[in-house]
A = this chain, B = another copy of it.
Amino acid sequence: MGKKFQLDDVIEAQQFDRDTLSAIFEVARDMEKIEKNSSGSRILRGYLMATLFYEPSTRTRLSFESAMKRLGGEVLTTEDAQEFSSAAKGETLEDTIRTVEGYTDIIVMRHFESGAAQRAATTADIPIINAGDGPGQHPTQAFLDVYTIEREIGKLDGIRVGLVGDLANGRTVRSLAYLLAKYKDVKVYFVSPDVVKMKDDIKDYLTSKGVEWEESSDLMEVASRCDVVYQTRIQRERFGENIDLYEEARGKYIVSPAVLEVMQKHAVIMHPLPRLDEITVDVDRDPRAAYFRQAKNGLYIRMALLKLLLIGW
């Protein structure tokens, strides 16, 4: 490794530089080997992780809890953290954190308010991992996305990534764009219905970092050029009563076997899940359908982060 560093909290994707990401990915690869060993790791034996979830996200919670248990650690589960500060009680987040940190060695927190994870980290003496704070960040998702690209394509410098679907609201694609800007000669294509186009702040950021990008309405053309087609779900809840607009948007760019036909042999399709029908199920059988491997990579990334935060390198 050479360079050693201390990881204190995981709050937002941008806090990590390229070397740190590379080091985390190296640990994640070790974790793949450990998880395959069915006799069970004892690396985090005696450590306790609390999942403090203020809104439900069973997928993310299970991924973290599996990661901790695969390393021999133990878990305290709170799916209903809202109960701490329920109307009748009104406890502040800071007081809740001070109480919970007395029971555990690390807190994985999901909250509906942007900035909540940072407030928790400022308060706590133990490590905090942000497992999503509202419209804010979900850094471990961004890490697993980049880790998956490297695992599937074999490189990060020089890759071409097509971001498809809801680019306006998805925090996933926004965080991914931030992280891709840390690598060289990256080219990003934005393919989205007009109502959910990528916002200017990300475009400006990419430009400032020297990342080439272009918008396109031709998914087939983009798919034929890219290493990664990153599809996302059009979120109905963003359209309110404009069901017509939603239906038009969601049907516009579907990844189907026709898209597979124009894609290169080495290229892959990714998706943060859950999906509806923006990737048709007959795509699943193709080896280039990487989205379930991507979900599994979330386990390795979270194992790596838990190890690094609790016992270091």
Contact = CB atoms under 8 A, between A and B. Distances in A.
Contacts of A46: 37-41
Contacts of A235: 88
Contacts of A62: 50, 76, 78, 100, 103
A76 B80 contact: no
A245 interface: no
A105 B76 CA distance: 19
Contacts of A178: none
Contacts of A38: 46-47, 105
Q: How many copies does the complex hold?
A: 3
A98 interface: yes
B88 A296 contact: no
A236 interface: yes
Instruction: With a 10 A CB-CB cut-off, give which of A48, A79, A88, A274 has the most chain B CB atoms.
Output: A274
A83 B62 CA distance: 12
B299 A91 contact: no
Given A74-B69, A78-B62, A89-B274, A45 B56 contact: no
Contacts of A236: 88
A303 B37 CA distance: 22
Contacts of A275: 91, 95
A77 interface: yes
B274 A95 contact: yes
A90 interface: yes
A104 B59 contact: no
A96 B102 CA distance: 32
Contacts of A83: 56-58
B70 A48 contact: yes
A202 interface: no
A83 B79 CA distance: 12
A33 B307 CA distance: 24
Interface of A: 37-41, 45-48, 50, 56-59, 62-63, 65-66, 69-70, 74, 76-81, 83-85, 88-92, 94-96, 98-100, 102-105, 233, 235-237, 273-276, 281, 292, 295-296, 299
12 contacts: A38-B47, A39-B45, A40-B45, A62-B76, A62-B100, A65-B103, A66-B76, A84-B274, A90-B274, A91-B276, A98-B292, A102-B299
